[in-house]
Amino acid sequence: MSTAQPHEFGSPGRGTPDSRGHRFAREQRRFARAADRITGLTDPSMGDERERDIILRAGTVSMTTAIYTFIGLGLLLAATGAILQSGLAILASAVPNLAYFLYCSSEGVDNAQVYSRTAPRRRRWGLAIGAICALVWLGLLAAYAVTGAPLIDVSWVTSRMENTSTWTGALVGGVAGIAVTFVVFRFMARSGRRRAEAERTAPDED
């Protein structure tokens, strides 16, 4: 005979909606902590209150720019007949918004209420731009399906990329670009530390 005791009334048991809710809340908090570490929100680089506000606003600008960049890339790929790649780019444009909603939810912010407080003009503009991009994308797909030819012919690029020397040049250029990027960031870090040290050792002006 089993000696397992049933859960008391009102206590969350395994598999109950309440226990699943607790697990989901823990996962959301874990996501927020990981996001804080990855994005550097708890890093000393956030600076003082003024700098932190500017950095957070810059992050919002960069997120919005990334969304529209992915959408633009999706439209361009659709125009060249790269249908699958176009769909992937359009789907990728939703990732920043998904991360935004997950982070807000993990910190107890009601996304629906936040959206309801959006200025009507800004909301209309956002919906209009989204609708226009969707119609253009669908139109490009429909045109390709009907004509069997892309709006922009890039076959000459494909033929050139079949040349081994072109791939070699692209590989060398990519490696050089990555190396330059690391050098630039290292220089920025060193220069920033020097300026911070100079500001700490500078005499206060009364």
Report pLDDT digits (tens) over 47-104: 888 888 998 899 899 999 999 999 999 999 999 888 888 999 999 999 998 888 888 8
Q: How do residues 125-156 score in pLDDT, each as one tens digit?
A: 988 998 999 999 999 989 888 888 888 887 76
| pLDDT of the residue at 111 | 84
Sign of the dihedral defined by the CA atoms of residues 42, 45, 49, 55, in that order = negative
- Torsion of Cα atoms, 30 then 34 then 35 then 37, to 10°: 140
Closest CA to 79 of 12, 141, 7, 37: 141
Q: How confident is the model at residue 46 (pLDDT cuts 50, 70, 90)?
A: confident
Q: What is the average pLDDT across 106-113?
A: 85
| pLDDT of the residue at 11 | 46
Q: How confident is the model at residue 179 (pLDDT cuts 50, 70, 90)?
A: confident
Judged against a pLDDT cut of 70, whether residue 106 lies above it is answered with yes
Q: What is the pTM of this model?
A: 0.67
Judged against a pLDDT cut of 90, whether residue 35 lies above it is answered with no
Inter-residue contact 108 to 46 (CB < 8 Å): no
Q: Residue by residue, what is the 3-state secondary structure of the chain?
A: CCCCCCCCCCCCCCCCHHHHHHHHHHHHHHHHHHHHHHHCCCCHHHCCHHHHHHHHHHHHHHHHHHHHHHHHHHHHHHHCCCHHHHHHHHHHCCHHHHHHHHHHHHCCCCHHHHHHCCCHHHHHHHHHHHHHHHHHHHHHHHHHHHHCCCCCCCHHHHHHHCCHHHHHHHHHHHHHHHHHHHHHHHHHHHHHHHHHHHHHHCCCCC
- Mean pLDDT (the chain) is 78
